[in-house]
Amino acid sequence: MGAALLALNARVHALDMQFSFVNSDGIGTTLGDVVTGTIYDLQDGNNFGPLKVTLDSIVPVDDFGWTPHTWTDVFPSFLTLSGGTVTSINLAAIDGSIALFLQDGGASFASNVDFDKFYSNGEGKITFTPVNTPDGGATVSLLGCALAGLGFARRRLS
C-alpha cells in the first residue's frame, strides 16, 4: 500500500515542458521558423527516461510536414529539472524518419535522418515553458485522503 501511495505521489508531481527554438541556421528550411515540441512526465532532479517527446509544430512553414511527430522511450544523456526549470539538457530522439536533438550550449535541431535538411538554432537559446504546473498541494491532499482512508479502515476492522 505504501508503494502505491509513493507511486501516486510521484505521478502527481510530473511536469510536461514545452520547448522551442528559432531556426537561424537550418539547411533546406525556412529561416525564422519556430520549432516547438513537448517533453512529458518530467520530475525534479535527473530524468534519464524513458520519456515521451513530441515535435508539435514548425511555424509559420513546416517545409516537410514533419509535425506532429512522437517519439516514445527516449533516454536523454542528461536532463535535469530544478524547481520546475530545465537546468541542463542533452537529448536525442531518433527514429526512421526524423531526428531531434536538444542541448544547451550547443546546436539544437530537427532533421531528416540523412541530416541534409534541418531546422537549427545555430547554438542559440532553447526556451522551456511548463505546460502544466506542479500540483499546488494536491499531493498533500491525495496523501491525506489516502491516510485518512487507512485510518478509517483500521477502525472498522478493530
pLDDT digits (tens, 9 = 90+) for 42-91: 999 999 989 999 999 999 999 999 999 999 999 999 999 999 999 999 99
> pLDDT category, 10, cuts 50, 70, 90?
very low
> pLDDT category, 157, cuts 50, 70, 90?
low
User: Residues 127, 20: contact at Cβ < 8 Å?
Assistant: yes
C-alpha cell at 86: 530545465
Q: Locate the domains of the chain by residue range.
A: 14-133
- E-strand ranges in 5-154 read 15-22, 34-42, 45-46, 51-59, 69-74, 78-82, 85-94, 98-103, 109-112, 118-120, 127-130
Query: What's this model's pTM, rounded to 2 decimal places?
Result: 0.76
Q: What are phi and psi of 5, to 5 degrees?
A: -65, -40
> So what's the pLDDT on residue 123?
86
pLDDT digits (tens, 9 = 90+) for 15-38: 999 999 999 999 999 999 999 999
User: Residues 153, 135: contact at Cβ < 8 Å?
Assistant: no
Residue 139 above 80 pLDDT? no
